[in-house]
Amino acid sequence: MSSLTQSQALAAAISAAIGAAIERGDLVGTIPVTIPLERPKNRDHGDYATSVALQLAKPAGMSPRAVAELLQSDLLDLPEVSSVEIAGPGFINITLNRSNQAELVSTILSSPETYGTGNSLSGISINLEFISANPTGPLHLGHTRWAAVGDSLGRVLSAAGALVTREFYINDRGNQMDLFGKSVEAAALGQPIPEDGYQGDYISDLADAVVKENPKIKELAAETRYESFREAAYKVQLAEQQGVLETFNTHFDVWFSERSLHEAGAVEHALTKLRTQGHVFDSEGAIWLRTTDFGDDKDRVITKANGDLTYFASDTAYYINKRERGFDICIYMLGADHHGYVNRLRATAACAGDNPDYNVEILIGQLVKIMEGGEEVKLSKRAGTIITLEELVEKVGVDAARYTLIRYPVDTPMVMDIDILRRNTNENPVYYVQYAHARIAAVLRNVAELGIPIGLSNFDPSQLSHDRENELLGTLAEFPVVVAAAATFREPHRVARYLEELAGVYHGFYADCRVLPLGEEAISPLHSARANLCAATKQVLANGLELLGVSAPERM
């Protein structure tokens, strides 16, 4: 029995028991669509608990405990159940047969790589867009959060069976690009940077790089010279972003250029499509999309009165382009400063004839604050006090940076304390989790050295009856449920939190359950069983860390 079906099977059994009671006429009511089934925090409350009797009591006109009693014997008849207790106001606490639970080790070890994956999003094609920074500067802290979380979410969605395309939208068009080109040009010529231009030190570095590569660039005609600078610097900057993201374990399937969108005539195409849907109108010389038809605060301009296209035009065309590429769901991960996009993007989808509640999803991420030396580091592009992805990695390493950023739900502002992350002690949860993995690796090295037989043919589940073993098995069983929930709610932090719990449970097991023979003790089936349990735990830790893009070290 795999673990996902363990809870599913129980829920189904409870449904069946309710159905039988109704059939017999003992119970009045209907079977709830979903059966509340949870793993109680308190171990005294069994392996699983359900409050379904409390729910059914009122419509049935019975006391919750009486309802629970109706279901008790049916549940007790299940082979995997060892006891069913009614507790408190009417909770049903179910304890599973231990050796039956221990079969989970076989499940994990027989399909090690895929344990935890599922099919809850099977066949759904998802476009996951994140970061999408302008190619006019280095990636900063906000981008870094998205890099970690977006990448991990991609992994989680894939694990749930979705067909995921990770996409980076390059805003390589418009005034900002021109300003960028002029800024680099000015730096190269030793002239003052334009008023609204880009100020950071990296601009002069870019200028040096560009001049080095194109020695004659300064001699070009002054009127259009900035364009050459723009193009050359763009290439350098984009390549740098791509390189940095690679080192951060963040992979994109598609780097989508805004220019290519325009070159392909996507805006006109989108306008045509939107016109047929009847939400485009002309006013004051401009062309508008009536997004207010679908909950936006105001209508949006697509083509300005002077004929220029707005950014909204690009965004709209891009959305339609994504849908025409066959994506069922378009997920946008945006910063808090973009929350005004939510309504207009949803409205755009509706204008295009899509379902804004299904085809488009917008995840808004809150800001990251940085503490260093006990003080908040104020971030300002102007003052040049931005922290880049590269700097963060330099300070704390890829694993700690990724883990810390993923560990929190994105809709809460978070504080990163650089000093703590740099200390590399167990104050940082990533080490706690990685240590558990490395510790098991050490145990398994000793297992191999001592010649303890391991593997499915040397596994006797009935050996595992200790409370700690049972607790560990129960936690391992949760992994697929956690992954599925992380995918459903788009919340990879659930995986990180789970791993911390699993690591803690393992450490507890390790303290109380000796794996290796002690002294002259003979090797027994218990040693093999525990070694296999260790191997299964190691696998789940590794699978979980993989979903976060964090390494699982063999030694620390």
What does the buried/exposed string (b/e) look like for 49-76 if buried means 16 or more CB atoms within 10 Å of the residue's CB? bbbbbbbbbeebebebbbbbbbbbebbe
Cβ proximity to RNA: between 110 and 424 the closer is: 424
Which region among 19-27, 152-160, 316-324, 334-342 touches RNA (by CB under 7 A)? 334-342
Of 452, 455, 382, 388, residue with least CA distance to 241: 388
Smallest distance from the beta carbon of 215 to RNA, in angstroms?
A: 30
For residue 538, the tally of other CB atoms under 10 A from its CB is 23
* Pairing state between β 300-303 and 286-289: antiparallel
Residue list 389-418, contact with RNA (CB under 7 A): 408-409, 411-415, 417
Which tokens sit at 176? 């900002």
For residue 483, the tally of other CB atoms under 10 A from its CB is 27
Q: Does 295 bind RNA (CB under 7 A)?
A: no
Smallest distance from the beta carbon of 163 to RNA, in angstroms?
A: 26
The CA distance from 62 to 64, in Å, is 6
What is the chain's percent helix, strand, coil content, to nearest 5?
Answer: 55, 15, 30
Site string (337-356) toward RNA, x via CB under 7 A? x-xx----------------
Per CB under 7 A, the list member of 13, 18, 49, 464 interacting with RNA is 49
Cβ proximity to RNA: between 211 and 506 the closer is: 506
What is Dmax (Cα atoms) for the chain?
Answer: 94
Smallest distance from the beta carbon of 385 to RNA, in angstroms?
A: 15
Which region among 48-56, 67-75, 216-224, 458-466 touches RNA (by CB under 7 A)? 48-56
Residue list 226-285, contact with RNA (CB under 7 A): 283-285
Smallest distance from the beta carbon of 428 to RNA, in angstroms?
A: 8
Smallest distance from the beta carbon of 432 to RNA, in angstroms?
A: 5
Instruction: Please check whether residue 128 is in contact with residue 157, taking contact to mean a CB–CB distance below 8 angstroms.
Output: yes
Instruction: Please check whether residue 525 is in contact with residue 459, taking contact to mean a CB–CB distance below 8 angstroms.
Output: no
Which region among 40-48, 117-125, 144-152, 232-240 touches RNA (by CB under 7 A)? 40-48
Q: In what order do the strands lie in the sheet with 360-365?
A: 254-257, 163-170, 125-129, 329-335, 360-365
| HEC assignment per residue over 355-408 | CCCCCEEEEEECCEEEEECCEEECCCCCCCCCCEHHHHHHHHCHHHHHHHHHCC
Site for RNA (CB under 7 A): how many residues? 95
Cβ proximity to RNA: between 95 and 228 the closer is: 95
Q: Does 42 bind RNA (CB under 7 A)?
A: yes
At 333, give phi and psi (nearest 5°): -110, 115
The CA distance from 552 to 493, in Å, is 17
Smallest distance from the beta carbon of 55 to RNA, in angstroms?
A: 4
Smallest distance from the beta carbon of 454 to RNA, in angstroms?
A: 13
* Pairing state between β 37-38 and 300-303: unpaired
The CA distance from 217 to 436, in Å, is 56
The CA distance from 39 to 49, in Å, is 6
- Contacts of range 75-83, beta carbons closer than 8 Å, 24 or more positions apart: 75/13, 75/14, 75/17, 78/10, 78/13, 80/1, 80/6, 80/9, 83/46
Residue list 77-116, contact with RNA (CB under 7 A): 87-89, 91, 93
Site string (116-135) toward RNA, x via CB under 7 A? ------------------x-
Would residue 278 be called left, alpha or beta, if left means φ above 0 and alpha means ψ between -120 and 50 degrees? left
Of 552, 549, 554, 553, residue with least CA distance to 149: 549
Site string (144-173) toward RNA, x via CB under 7 A? ---------------------------x--
Per CB under 7 A, the list member of 24, 41, 216, 378 interacting with RNA is 41
Site string (471-510) toward RNA, x via CB under 7 A? ----------x---x-----x-xx--x--x---x--xx-x
Residue list 424-443, contact with RNA (CB under 7 A): 424-427, 429, 431-432, 435, 438-439, 441-443
Instruction: Please check whether residue 81 is in contact with residue 48, taking contact to mean a CB–CB distance below 8 angstroms.
Output: no
Cβ proximity to RNA: between 19 and 504 the closer is: 504
Q: Does 306 bind RNA (CB under 7 A)?
A: yes
Q: Does 332 bind RNA (CB under 7 A)?
A: no
Residue list 360-389, contact with RNA (CB under 7 A): 364, 366-367, 369
Which region among 57-65, 198-206, 346-354, 392-400 touches RNA (by CB under 7 A)? 57-65
Per CB under 7 A, the list member of 35, 45, 140, 452 interacting with RNA is 45
Per CB under 7 A, the list member of 133, 301, 392, 405 interacting with RNA is 301
Smallest distance from the beta carbon of 472 to RNA, in angstroms?
A: 12
Cβ proximity to RNA: between 88 and 265 the closer is: 88
The CA distance from 227 to 238, in Å, is 16
Residue list 173-192, contact with RNA (CB under 7 A): 174-177
Per CB under 7 A, the list member of 12, 76, 222, 305 interacting with RNA is 305
Cβ proximity to RNA: between 57 and 211 the closer is: 57
Which region among 46-54, 182-190, 351-359, 393-401 touches RNA (by CB under 7 A)? 46-54
